[in-house]
Structure 1
Amino acid sequence: MSTSSLSTKSSFDSLRSGSSSIQSAPDLLPPAVKGPMVWEGFELKDYILLLSPSEIEAVVAAVEGFKSMGLSRGSINKSTFSLPEELAEKLSSISHEVYHGRGIAVLRGLDVAELNEEDSVIAFAGVSSYVCPDRATDSYAFQTLSHVRDATHDPIPDFARGIGLAGSKVGTAMGFHCDRFSGDILALHVLEDGGAANGGEQFISSFWKVYNELLETEPTVLETAAAASWPFELKQEGADPYLQLEPVLFFSEGKPIIQLVKAPLLGTPRLPRSKAMPDVSSEQRRAMEVIESVAKRFSAKVDRKNGDIQFINNLGVMHARSAYGGAQRSSRHLLRMFLRDPANMWEVPKAYAAKFDDAFTEGREQNLPVIDADPWRKTSGRYCHG
């Protein structure tokens, strides 16, 4: 990615594929979207799929079968992680639900298998390969699977002094966002939820519902979000961060696609923004506040238990979490991957297709670490949100 590639082009060029009449600025926005991904929190029910005892046994057998092959974990796929046909079809159906249904599905039951750390990683990757066959690998950190946990109490090695921890490694609350250009589907495996009374709750909100609401009440917020003038601070290897002007809202075939993450726009206490970067405008700051407020109003708390594997649409469903941890280390520990299913994937705006597709570049080595040995430099993406 070139350090001089500063885009000044609005994403409005991609609106035309979904809107039949384009006149004044508000008319550039596609009409209200319809479908099962438009929901309010109280309407979101029955998104949990239970694994039967025999299905859990099949997953455990697939883990042992893969380990017997002596392959690297990056080789996990449907051919090396063998499951019965009926279970394979059950998992495959999840893809349609997260792409074209409500945008979330949770697979429950693996907690009773009592898998160790290595087996949990293998099971997570193996089961997920039946939902979405493609795994994303970040082009900056070259990380395929990351550990979402409290690393604030880890001893800091000399090389990491002065390097801030990413959002996935600290227990601060995170507002509603989608992980930018990271992948279509966010997959999370709950190894340890940290305890019901210890924070870290997860929340989701349909951006399609947010979009429809703002289209009616504050379309200028959407116009601001769709303008390619948001000053993102991007990291690069061995050099200072650089500026990239991009939208946070995209459209293709009438679908609104949100890719708003705040850390590379505002900085965080542990990853402060470079003073060389321009500030977001007052209009952009207000747009973030309005989107956050509406997303919170329509949100739902995720029903979560140890062993769950969550699949969340990262293009149309925003996610957030409450704070956890603090003076003592929290036991909360999730595994995270980003996925894509070519059979169900959405079209993306042609002008930005390379950015949406980069994490799925073929031939890139996949790293699925069992232990989170480097929570500093290598677990933060180029967009600094971690």
Structure 2
Amino acid sequence: MASASICPVYNPSHLDTQRFWDRELVRERPAIDVPVGLPKNIASPLAWKGADIASKEPEWKLDLTDEEVVMVEKALLGFEFKFQDLSKLSASTFELPTEFSQRLRKLSDQLYNGVGFQIIHGLDPTKYTARQNMIMYAGISAHICPQRGFVDVFGKAVIAHIVNVQASKDDPKSTAPAFTNVPLSFHTDNCEIMAFFYLDTALEGGQTVLSSIWQTYNELAAERPDVLHTLTQPWVLDTFKPVSLQPPRHVRPLQRVDSDKLPILFRFSRYPITGFQRGRNPELPEPTTAQQEAADCIQFRAAKNSITLPVVKGDILLVNDMALFHAREAFDDGGIPMKRHLVKMYMRDPEQGWEIPLSIMENEWKTSYTPNQPDGTRVETWDVAYKPGIEELSMLNG
């Protein structure tokens, strides 16, 4: 039986939220310090509250001018004329005028040293084919973060389609929360820079929500250092996949990193703890009460400090996945199968990226950013359009 002090379900209710904060109001601060080697506070522009940055849109949104959209279309045509293989996409093959390219390149500074996310607004995906949309998406992104990552468990695909696969009676009834229309709890994807291209948005709801990991850490360090101790211990996370495809993950959600730029490595998802439509593997050890309580502390604090993004159809969003949690509102597609359609990619900027020892990175990160061929090269698969079943190959699903 679940403890009365925890919320055992993936999607907490408003009542669960109120109960959590009622308990926190009367809780005494534990008489312990943060774990040895971890900071007591992280002072950084990446440690923010949503209420403080909501009015600072110029820091996190770039509106493309009509002239720049024309430049993007010329770069698209130029790439199509010279190349068939989409893996050839780069800043040099998706040719933009120098001034515009530099304007995009500067967005990397905001991703790694500013607020940690950027919205690029101004494209209309209805004007282009599915393949052309992918070329523009990856081409623009390459001017910001030159390196692409793999998004599937095999380390082959560079595109993931985020759609509600339960949109009709014939679609699967058991899946991960990312591929339904329910709210997504706050989580990370174990990549460096995560990107979404909003091919279409929902009829109602479905907005992306962000929250600072480092702000959550600071609050836990000040008020709940016991939770930080729990997070530095080993956890067993279910992947809800066959062991041959993706075995359970043995991780420490919070780790120290010997880096001037990255004070902590904090990776988290509520889904492997609570399950969703698929329950946790009964052969795995059950999450402890302390782990479930830690999951609640992360969820409710992240929600308190979050910002709901004003993204619309055609927007590109880039998020520093090592500094920000992301979540999603519930949505209604109005009976239109898979109307809301996001395309996810993993990226990084080798020049700006934080140096992280591979020894402490989870297998998903290594699979994303290291070569997938014995000779040290990379071969990429581009699923330009959604195909039923490919969602099951995503590394992490909410």
TM-score range, shorter chain: 0.7 to 0.9
Describe the SS at the equivalent of 1:68.
helix
Q: Say yes or no: does 1:30 pair with 2:31.
A: no
Provide closer, same or farther for how the CA distance between residues 199 and 54 of structure 1 changes in structure 2, counting only shifts above 3 A: same
Describe the SS at the equivalent of 1:239.
coil
Describe the SS at the equivalent of 1:43.
helix
1:1-386 to structure 2, matched below 5 A, reads 26-44=35-53, 45-46=56-57, 47-111=60-124, 114-138=127-151, 140-141=153-154, 142-153=156-167, 164-179=174-189, 181=190, 183-195=191-203, 198-227=204-233, 229-234=234-239, 239=244, 242-252=247-257, 253=259, 255-269=263-277, 271-325=278-332, 328=335, 329-349=337-357, 351-353=359-361, 355=363, 356-362=365-371, 363-376=377-390, 378-381=392-395, 383=396, 385=397
Provide closer, same or farther for how the CA distance between residues 332 and 27 of structure 1 changes in structure 2, counting only shifts above 3 A: same
Question: Any unmatched runs of 5+ in structure 2?
Answer: 1-31, 372-376
TM-score by length of 1: 0.84
Displacement after TM superposition at 1:50 (Å): 1.0
Provide closer, same or farther for how the CA distance between residues 77 and 350 of structure 1 changes in structure 2, counting only shifts above 3 A: closer
Describe the SS at the equivalent of 2:384.
coil
For 2:285 and 2:245, locate their aligned partners in 1 and report how far apart those are by CA, in whole Å: 15
Provide closer, same or farther for how the CA distance between residues 30 and 374 of structure 1 changes in structure 2, counting only shifts above 3 A: same
**2:118, 2:319 within 8 Å by CA — same for their partners in 1?**
yes
Aligned to 1:8: none
**1:250, 1:349 within 8 Å by CA — same for their partners in 2?**
no
Provide closer, same or farther for how the CA distance between residues 277 and 27 of structure 1 changes in structure 2, counting only shifts above 3 A: closer
Letter in 2 for 1:249: L
% same residue: 26
Q: What CA deviation, in whole Å up to 9, does each residue of 1:193-216 have, x standing for no partner?
A: 123xx1111111111111111111
For 2:312 and 2:199, locate their aligned partners in 1 and report how far apart those are by CA, in whole Å: 9
Displacement after TM superposition at 1:234 (Å): 4.1
**2:221, 2:228 within 8 Å by CA — same for their partners in 1?**
yes
Displacement after TM superposition at 1:58 (Å): 0.7
Q: What CA deviation, in whole Å up to 9, does each residue of 1:336-386 have, x standing for no partner?
A: 1010110001122553146333311223322222210133565321x5x26
Provide closer, same or farther for how the CA distance between residues 294 and 225 of structure 1 changes in structure 2, counting only shifts above 3 A: same
**1:117, 1:370 within 8 Å by CA — same for their partners in 2?**
yes
TM-score by length of 2: 0.81
Displacement after TM superposition at 1:238 (Å): 7.2
Question: Any unmatched runs of 5+ in structure 1?
Answer: 1-22
For 1:240 and 1:94, locate their aligned partners in 2 and report how far apart those are by CA, in whole Å: 36
72-81 vs 244-253, which deviates more? 244-253
Superposition RMSD on alpha carbons, in Å?
2.5
For 1:211 and 1:85, locate their aligned partners in 2 and report how far apart those are by CA, in whole Å: 39
**1:37, 1:103 within 8 Å by CA — same for their partners in 2?**
yes
Aligned to 1:18: none
Aligned to 2:18: none
Matched length: 352
